[in-house]
Amino acid sequence: MFRSGVSLTHAALLLACAFCCARIRAAESLPEAPQPASSAAAAPLTLDQAIAAALANDPAYNDAMAASGSARLDSALARAALLPNAAAHGQYLYTQPNGVRNQAGQIGSQAAPRFIANNAIREYAAQVFVNENLSFAGFADYRRTRALAAESAANLVSARRDLVVRVVAAYFSVLSTAEKVNVAQRALGEAQAFLDLTQKLESGREVAHADVVKADLELQQRRRECEDATLAAEKSRLDLGVLLFPDPRTPYTLAAQSQTPEPLPSEAVIDDAAARNNPDLRSALEALRAAHSEVVAARAGYFPAIAFNYTYGIDAPQFAVNGPDSVQNLGYSAAASVDFPLWDWLATHDRVRQSQLREQAARAALTTTQRQLIAQLEEYSHEARVASDQVASLRSTVDTARESLRLTRLRYSAGEASALEVVDAESALAQSEGALADGILRSHVARANLETLTGSL
């Protein structure tokens, strides 16, 4: 029996080991499960999606959003301070008796309390208070907080505008540097093809070895330019990744954009939109309104303040609606007060003077903002028009340089041109294609600056 038990256990262990080995071999024979691609790498990012991602991640914009929300709540608090407020009050007081009896405000004698501040040895209070305070300072403060809330809202729009300009510049910079990489790779391929051509012609004793040396030098230069262009493209991708993703190294692709700028609206339309929708101008206007309301609030210190109070409930020796001998405990009281300022050692005068100085500064800031808006409007409008016009000129230059390179190569193959002319034609084409990429980037950034200035982006 013992040997039989051992053999059965051994067989079970062998069977288990065989089963595990079979599972391991089956797992090794299966192909690896494909890793899900990230959404950023799967779908190209449009400009609107990039702006939305940057708005969600940028700390400066989120700070401006928090400040705007806080200012709105300050306005709501100032409005609530102007409205009546109510509170419920409940209290029980007990005081030792002093050994004598008195009326204590009720019918019949009662034990008198030891503390003179108490009305009876037992006192119950269950009341509702309604209070209202009215003053010119309260209304002026409400107007000031409303203006500050509007100013914060305008600052939020301004923060969004600045972020949008940064995103647009970074977005099209990635596209521009990627195009420059393509240009550098094409130039590298053309330099390699020219080196191969010179070596072939040298082997046929049609050109001198100096042409091969010149072509080789050009190839080395093009290789360095390609490496620099690749490095610049990686830097641009990281700069945009910092704005869009928690990890700047997140892989992503960008949606292709139109290489032809859209026509700009007329100057009258641009001026009208800038006057109505510019957030900086609106922020300066609201700051001036807030400063004026602060002056009014400071001057309100010269005027009286009115307070109303209404109390309804029980304040009696018994916690009951009716006391002994049908005495009514439930009732109300009302009070009204007026406070007149008499003398505060010129504190109100100084506060008025302070607020007036702030109002002067706000007025000067508004004037400066208006001047800057006019200057920026002229600058951005002219830059956008010039950049848009130059794109067409740069395209023509690229076509001309490409045709010049083709003809120069044909002349070199026929022995009518030197290697230096071919190298110069290839350099001219690479420079013109790079200038076209820069021109397209400049056109998009200039248009973005103009559209954010007018509030349309």
pLDDT of residue 309: 95
Tokens matching residue 171 = 């977005």
DSSP symbols for 312-380: EEEEESSSSSB-GGG-B-EEEEEEEEEE-----TTHHHHHHHHHHHHHHHHHHHHHHHHHHHHHHHHHH
Weakest mean pLDDT among 146-160, 197-211, 443-457? 443-457
Task: Enter the pTM of the model.
Answer: 0.74
Q: Mean pLDDT lowest for which of 10-14, 136-140, 230-234?
A: 10-14
**How confident is the model at residue 106, as a pLDDT?**
60
Q: Is the pLDDT of residue 4 over 50?
A: no
Q: Helices 136-203 and 419-453 meet at what angle, rounded to 10? A: 170
Phi and psi at residue 434, in whole multiples of 5°?
-65, -40
Rounded mean pLDDT, 413-429: 89
117: left (phi over 0), alpha (psi -120 to 50) or beta: alpha
Q: How confident is the model at residue 35 (pLDDT cuts 50, 70, 90)?
A: very low
* Spatial distance between the Cα atoms of 32 and 371, rounded to a whole number of angstroms: 65
Q: Do the beta carbons of residue 423 and residue 440 sit within 8 Å? A: no
CB 422 within 8 A of CB 430: no
Given the structure tokens 């510049």, which residue do they identify?
Answer: 169
> What's the mean pLDDT in 317-339?
88
Q: What is the pLDDT of residues 258-281, one digit of tens each?
A: 666 667 777 777 777 777 778 888
CATH topology of domain 47-83+135-303+345-453: Outer membrane efflux proteins (OEP) (1.20.1600)
pLDDT bucket at 30, cuts 50 / 70 / 90: very low
Closest of 265, 263, 270 to residue 373, by C-alpha: 270
Residue 21 in this model has a pLDDT that exceeds 90? no
State both tokens at 28.
Answer: 């090794």
- Position 15 confidence tier, pLDDT thresholds 50, 70, 90: very low
Question: What ranges do the domains of the chain cover?
Answer: 47-83+135-303+345-453, 84-134+304-340
pLDDT of 16 higher than 60 = no
Integer Cα distance of 353 and 351 in angstroms = 5
* Encoded tokens for 113: 């309390």
Q: Work out the average pLDDT over 392-419.
A: 90
Asked if pLDDT for residue 101 goes beyond 90, the answer is no
pLDDT in tens, 173-195: 999 999 999 999 999 999 999 99
CA distance 318 to 312: 16
Confidence of residue 327 (pLDDT cuts 50, 70, 90): confident
Query: 447 falls in which pLDDT band (50, 70, 90)?
Result: confident
CB-based contacts of 105-108 (< 8 A; 24+ apart in sequence) = 106/316, 106/317, 106/323, 106/324, 106/327, 107/323, 107/324, 107/325, 107/327, 108/324, 108/325
Lowest-confidence pick of 24-33, 218-227, 343-352, 363-372:
24-33
* The pLDDT value given to residue 322: 86
Per-residue pLDDT, averaged over 208-232, amounts to 92
Neighbours of 357 (CB within 10 A): 12
- pLDDT for the residue numbered 339: 92
